[in-house]
């Protein structure tokens, strides 16, 4: 009976051989009918406490797993939205890179981007400032920026020389087609 209290208070349970011996004694008394109602309730209570304890541990592990998945999804979504807003070339790549540079606040409820700039200074960006953090990261890594913001391989300069006056895009060439054809006719 004192082990019922030990299980309820969290005290260490007896070793396996002691439990097997006690269960054997209880089984023998059940089979011979010498166990009174109080002992039967105590045995049933012990069994139910062990079942509930193992169920609690299983559910706690499942809850931890779901919490981890939720946090990973939340962080990915926040970084992805910030990457799109900041003009990243491939937001999925930014999610992969910046997920490694994140951590959670002390309460474990909100993500924080911890970015180190080129000069070695760490900046912390809370979830409402992720766009600023991603912009700062893209400024330090212009090859990851989309459009004219970077200077990655095969990119074109974002500004055209003022003196050249030549078209820089296909649509500009199409608009100038008739003018170019007239110039070609004159050169013949």
**pLDDT per position as a tens digit, 15-31:** 888 888 888 887 777 76
- Cα gap 120→141, rounded to integer Å: 14
CB atoms within 10 A of CB 40: 13
- Give residue for tokens 């990851």: 144
Length of the chain: 188
pLDDT at 12: 63
- Give residue for tokens 């030549």: 166
Domain boundaries, the chain: 2-67, 68-151
CB atoms within 10 A of CB 83: 28
- For residues 124 and 113, is the Cβ–Cβ distance under 8 A? yes
Mean local confidence (pLDDT), 31-45? 77
User: What residues contact residue 152 under an 8 Å CB cut-off, 6+ apart?
Assistant: 89, 142, 143, 144, 145
Ramachandran region, residue 105 (left: φ > 0; alpha: ψ -120 to 50; beta: rest): beta
The helix or strand, by DSSP H or E, that contains position 63, with its residue range, turns out to be helix 37-86
Tokens of 110: 């909100």
> Is this prediction's pTM over 0.75?
no
Euclidean distance between the first and final Cα of the chain, in Å?
113
**Residue pLDDT, tens place only, 122-138:** 888 888 888 888 888 88
**Residue pLDDT, tens place only, 128-166:** 888 888 888 888 888 888 765 445 555 554 443 333 456
CB atoms within 10 A of CB 74: 14
Counting residues of the chain whose pLDDT is more than 90, the rounded percentage is 14
Spell out the SS3 assignment of 78-110: HHHHHHHHHCECCHHHHHHHHHCCEEECCCCCC
Mean pLDDT of the chain: 78
Helix axes 2-9, 37-86, angle to 10 degrees: 10
pLDDT at 150: 45
Which of helix, strand or coil describes residue 120? coil
- Sheet architecture: strand order including 102-104: 102-104, 111-116, 122-126
């Amino acid at each position: 009976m004192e082990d019922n209290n030990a299980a309820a208070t969290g005290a260490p349970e007896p070793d396996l051989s002691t439990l097997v011996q006690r269960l054997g004694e209880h089984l023998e008394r059940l089979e011979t009918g010498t166990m009174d109602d109080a002992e039967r309730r105590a045995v049933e209570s012990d069994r139910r406490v062990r079942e509930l304890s193992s169920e609690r541990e299983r559910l706690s592990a499942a809850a931890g797993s779901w919490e981890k998945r939720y946090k990973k999804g939340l962080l990915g979504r926040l970084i992805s939205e910030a990457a799109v807003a900041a003009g990243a070339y491939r937001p999925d790549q930014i999610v992969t890179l910046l997920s490694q540079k994140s951590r959670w606040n002390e309460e474990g409820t909100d993500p924080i981007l911890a970015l180190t700039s080129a000069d070695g200074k760490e900046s912390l960006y809370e979830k409402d400032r992720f766009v600023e953090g991603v912009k700062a990261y893209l400024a330090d890594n212009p090859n990851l920026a989309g459009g004219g913001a970077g200077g990655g391989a095969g990119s074109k300069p974002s500004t055209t020389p003022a003196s050249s006056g030549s078209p820089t895009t296909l649509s500009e060439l199409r608009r100038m087609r008739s003018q170019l054809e007239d110039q070609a006719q004159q050169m013949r």
